[in-house]
Chain A
């Protein structure tokens, strides 16, 4: 109940996520601020971007402001002044700023956290390239890496996250319907990949929040809104094929790849070595690797699959079966039978 109480007292965080400047996040955010004011909420702007479009400026002018303090030329939210004034809602245009050295908080998102803890709600905007965990991917696309970042974990605490989506050619479209500029295509390609990243990021945040929400309400459901592939490794399984296929499918579906191994007693030395190689391969392919324990491997796999919301199980099948398995059904048959509601893909080896 303590957690519930804490949650009830905390301010609400709503994040407007874009994938490039000019996509219209600030406009959407200030437009919401305007509408909230019209509904009687006490809204105050506490941080602005140095460069703003005319449209945004028109909206901003109508909202009261507690100006950011300039410290060494860097705008810093005046947290003390905001806490004293204690508005219902604050607007922070640009969540990913570093405060100058010597500030109470090193990062602006920590200032925001302080406001939330004081029961003040926050509307904030951020571009994809400022999410710390996406740094590598963004750098690969744009060649640039931002020093000012916010961690993904902070984004996960947002009560609401809105994607401000527009086609990647939105900037070009405004000028001319037929674009013949030779650099336009590659620019558009990059923007479009950033756009895809933003959509998937939002979907992942929504997925996590949905999971927490269902858990909080004690509901166990498997909705499969995200594909999750579980590759069952054994020493002799055709691990390379299963993992390659699993990776490809997980990427295509923007899903998750998990590899598991059910611990077996008395493995031979050769099997132990082969298994280690397979597990290593799984890690190299960026699969989450999970060791499972239990007497009945099938029951353990199915139990884990249900707990993790797995939608597809990949399993190897030996073509050389014993007469007993052929007659009574081997482990693969038992797995298929037990995997009610989950797809099973059988790989020959």
Chain B
């Protein structure tokens, strides 16, 4: 203020460039740029994944066009590639997994958030998060040697004699099957459903529960008619995240699903999934068309999981913001 007139003659015009150079000398701008570079490279990598998959699947895209997704024949020898059996296998095994995992996961999440004492809830959640950390190849190992024999000797014959009139429980029993794939996936995605759903349920304001109880509802009625509907969007998001996991899961499914590219109504029949065919045939793919057909399958898988993941993330962002606004 008072001293301004004396220094003004020596000062440069206070422009943005000058500010920038000043900060550059102190190193702040350099640090900013370096970290910005790292952050940008994450976006670059993600875009590059899409680009590489797209460019490297040009051959089958031009040759088959949309019929790639509807063809039922996968015959590398005669150069005919149809992806329908794999898409069918991926979708059905994931749907089966959700059918088993959603009730189990949501049930366990309700128990952990509403009923269990805090100490037990924390310990159980710890164990469940460890379950999520078990590598998928280990699930596959247990799947081959424990689950598949169990299905072949126990579960499948039982289902065949009791519910054998349903087309999904017919046909010869091999053990390795769509059903085995669905089971393994179910065990693998349950931890994700539980840990996200539990957090969403815990975030429901306690007043909601108290109001319902004060009206004379039992604890279960308050949970099922008030707390769960309040948290339903978040629970849906956890299910979508789990679905995206199931669709892209490779090793465990490859090891138990039977790897047979046929579409069969029976859950006892061997099947094939997109990720499994890539894992099995990629290194053996001879010829550009074969390899690129597999890469196109990878692109399909990528777009499918990105779509589901992206939606689930947006839902989570929207609901958590709403949640904080309410508090």
Q: Do these two chains really belong together in a complex? A: no
